[in-house]
Structure 1
Amino acid sequence: MKGARGRGTLEKEKPPVFGMIQRGGDVVVQMLPDVKQKTIKPYIESCIQPGSTVYTDEYVIYANLTQLGYKHKTVNHGSGEYARDEDGDGFYEVHVNTQEGCWSLLRSWLRPHRGISQEKLPKYLAFFEFVHNAKKRGKALIFSLLENVLCKKLTMQ
């Protein structure tokens, strides 16, 4: 089965998922009601320091990043561009491959669940984010999970 074309919305029961990842760092993944500049702006401003360079594709919702105080570099997937070497050193520094790889991991992680309700999707995304950011796999992950749960419980008391 092929889904309907176009951007997802909660009303269409195709919730949009917004993500940001620091190269070599942490990921933030969030289900949103829609994909509009005013919706993503608070997430960007809470996670990315002004003056940072942000790499995106050319989707229109990212058009105002320079007005928000960020350096903004884009790749144009529509014209077949996926990475660009801007300074001629042979290293293709302008790309969104880090985030694309994260989306691939998320899809692979969600696929065995064979459909997740919109109500539960934020919890699945939060757990994926936690596991990715813990940077621990296998048995080592359980200690990170316990530490996180216990520390939150202690700070709530």
Structure 2
Amino acid sequence: MVECDEVYIVAGHKGQPDKVAKAGRKPRCRRLKGAPGRGTAETEKPPVFGMIQRTGEVVIRMLENVQQPTIKPLILQTIMPGTQIYTDEYNIYSRLEAWGYPHKTVNHSAGEYARDEDGDSFCEVHSNTMEGFWSLLRSWLRPHRGISQAKLPLYLSFFEFVHNVRKRGKSLLSSLLAVLVKKTPKPI
């Protein structure tokens, strides 16, 4: 079971005053606030697409936009065909069944965040695992006080790694060092 969702992280051109001037706006003095609604990289609110296996690993990627042609390759290379996918009712997920994935949705606009379909008092249909991950990501990014779009993929990759190894504090160091010093096989 995999949940897919998207989030929009406000990320501008921190530390790059020439790009801010080209964008035709004054530098922000305090807090980086994007326009309301869905964003794009051009509007300094790049979308981040996430896929999380329940009780498993997460994959997150920053995208230029969130459209079916953009997310299809990510889904096809990351999720095995036939895997049950849970999402909200955003229309970019409407073709999941045509791509070979059973698909169930919750309707956030109607106040539905979880649904019990088989009457066992356990709500199987939800995207709350991914929503909880986004909450963790935002609270982790907050102390950085603004993120550059150029550096955002690095922040996302590191947070994905930390989440997937499930270690915090000093125990994370050994996992990080193991990845950094791991020898890659030479091509033949």
- Deviation string for 1:76-122 (max 9, x for gaps)? 00000000000111110000000000000000000000110100000
Deviation at 1:138?
1.2
User: In structure 1, what is the Cα distance between the partners aligned to 2:172 and 2:180?
Assistant: 12
1:98 corresponds to 2:126: no
Aligned to 2:88: 57
Aligned counterparts of 1:126 and 1:65: Cα–Cα separation in 2: 25
Selected match of 1:119 from 144, 150, 153: 150
Amino acid at match of 1:71: P
Query: TM-score, with normalisation over the residues of structure 2?
Result: 0.80
What amino acid sits opposite 2:177 in the alignment?
L
Tell me the distance in 1 between the aligned counterparts of 2:36 and 2:171.
41
Distance, in Å, in 2 between the alignment partners of 1:44 and 1:21 is 11
Aligned residues: 155
Distance in 2 between residues matched to 1:57 and 1:156, nearest whole Å: 41
8 Å contact 2:34–2:44 — kept in the other structure?
no
Q: Are positions 1:75 and 2:106 aligned together?
A: yes
Identity %: 68
Query: CA offsets per residue over residues 44-95 of structure 1, 9 Å max, x none?
Result: 1111110000000000110000000000000000000000000111110000
Q: Say which SS state the counterpart of residue 155 (structure 1) adopts.
A: coil
**What letter matches 2:74 in structure 1?**
Y
Structure 1 residue ranges (4+ consecutive) displaced by more than 6 angstroms after TM superposition? none
Corresponding position of 2:162: 131
Higher relative contact order (CA 8 A, sep 6+): 2
Matched, 1:24 2:65: no
Aligned CA RMSD, in angstroms, stands at 1.1
Counterpart for residue 109 of structure 1: 140
User: Between Structure 1 and Structure 2, whose CA radius of gyration is higher?
Assistant: 2
Unaligned runs of 5+ in 1: none
- Shift, 1:156, TM fit: 5.8
Gaps (5+ residues) in structure 2?
1-30
Instruction: Give the counterpart letter for 2:47 in structure 1.
Output: P
